[in-house]
Chain A
């Protein structure tokens, strides 16, 4: 009887082991693997960004990151306190590390994203004292031309807490580097690459036992390269012209495709200094700089377009048929125009006399365009501007672009000033690019591109993707050529930018002055060349440039450099 009881007891025990070891094997083997293997993320290199000729705009250099694993916040805290002197950690670094840990406690917490070789060598010496420390070679973003490309390439940095809450970044982990601005941000999904993972075997206290072997690594997948339309040579040339003294924005576009050849905002900043954490001192310097380097003057700053807008006024008038190609306005220019009880000045006090459209464009006669505006009528004029995308973003592939300002309808004025609080004088202001009209440099470049391409507006594109084009106006051949002749004449002797002419190349364009209540006026120039078969449109805005002639110098230099014509130096000297 007792033998029987013994046997039954043992059979039951064996049964219990059978259940655990054979039936539930998979569950326990998984737990045992989870115990011993710690995944160490291997960051993927970001996609390399090239210019149109294969020159490198953004690449990756090897750097070292220092991270740490910890079983609890307290343990992390004490480890960081121990490491602080060696790693030169400030309270801020420690708080950041703890924040990262709280987000993803099972992931190694990044302590230093970009550790100096000195710190790394000291740590390597004391490796045994800090068994939970992980020193990794990681790719670090590098822009060989630094400030030259900052205006469009942007920069990378650590993903922030609010980004992590954004569904867009649902698969991201704290400590990862993401695009923060410019192309880096716009094409984050393409440039990011796929993180790999290495498995370390660790003991019960989390100390690594074997670095390789327990399970094969999953190699990180680098992102594909991003090819852009930027002409790095032209970009460098543009930056060179602005030098350190000038501030403003410039953009060069191929009007046929919308390809952005160069985009620059002066003064610039160094994106390499932003990688792996923006140094407080540097950031403060940039913030306190009165020239506002962090505002991108090519896509973010909006300015009254001034006389450069007269192209839009002309197009609207011609398309509406309110003005004939050779038609003169009723009142000749005597240096001003009496409207009601107000006298509207022309910029030329001596007056231009009686002009047709071509002459009015050449001389930028305000009195002509006041009358053209009145002929079109405010409602139609506003609608025409909207059709010419003066109320839109240009659609350039940069996340920071500001939308241009332009009334949505007459109602805009009623809302703003009250039904009787404004007069038709607003039409006069709009007609010469003043009033409730504020444009970005890129949006003006888009308008001139559309004119250069017979009414087809291309979407400005930095990355080499499929061009998007849209017909925004239609002029007949005669109308088109009259306007073109006017724009050409601007860069001929007697035109407002006559001094910027280039030997052997026909330029077309328009200067402008943006009235600036806060200081000296801003100077504009938007133009293209060759005038009869345009290959490049350049828009330049010089803050406090007073008027457009200096902007025209810059633009013509850029055009000349791109088309490889003309002794540019000589024309520059004339100015």
Chain B
């Protein structure tokens, strides 16, 4: 039976015709580019909406309702979510390829080329134009004092109640120190309260505050923005060396056929992307790897130490490992696929 499989493999391919295969490849490639952009647009829209809503909530106080969204909020949402969405648009498109087995593996090539071009050229162009217009895009500084008539906790151990409040945040009311047993209630007036918090009202914040794990992710996104800012505002060579992160990211996206169980492929793509992202961030954004890398960079003299030569090497190393893994497992999967296909055709032929 084994010998039979091997014999039938090659002629079958020839029979279907090279033209047919080419046709399939072109179709796949034409299909995947729109999918890539649609996925990106959807993610961008969702992220922008979430951002806009979160910012609106930061300006409302208990007893008032959400006012309409402004265009400025929308712009901010787009600017902030674009680099993050770009980072994950690659793996998301890979998920699409994993899901639709009929797509040829060749479609990875145009999609990843577009992805790299967006990352390496469109992203810095877009962001540097944003940095130039920073003043125009700055949000208006409005003082929104919390509403009177509600109890709020302040800094974890105080309870505060404003009996009256002016437009500029001068209040009178009560403050309770819950850590003291007696003489712990103070009545005050003519007191200017702190209005520089992220949220105008701590009560609203307590309702929609982010869960710990999500907060960590958001923090890392903020750090990614800073990393991007430094790389874009630095020399050209710095940006180029930063783009070395694309190497392992692209290798991650290639793992679409790494297993016969498509869920495993999906997890591997996502896992690799997150691993590369976290690794680069922990070097570039002052994480636990920042110091050893900083010291080592001086020793590597073939590149300016600001360009992080060690990180470039590491990314190249990741590319190598992930690439080899992908090639090995993908070839194996394709082989098993063919074996099963042959097995099926053999069985049906036998029955006939």
Do A and B assemble together?
no
Question: Which residues in A have some Cβ–Cβ distance to B below 8 Å?
Answer: none
Question: Which residues in B have some Cβ–Cβ distance to A below 8 Å?
Answer: none
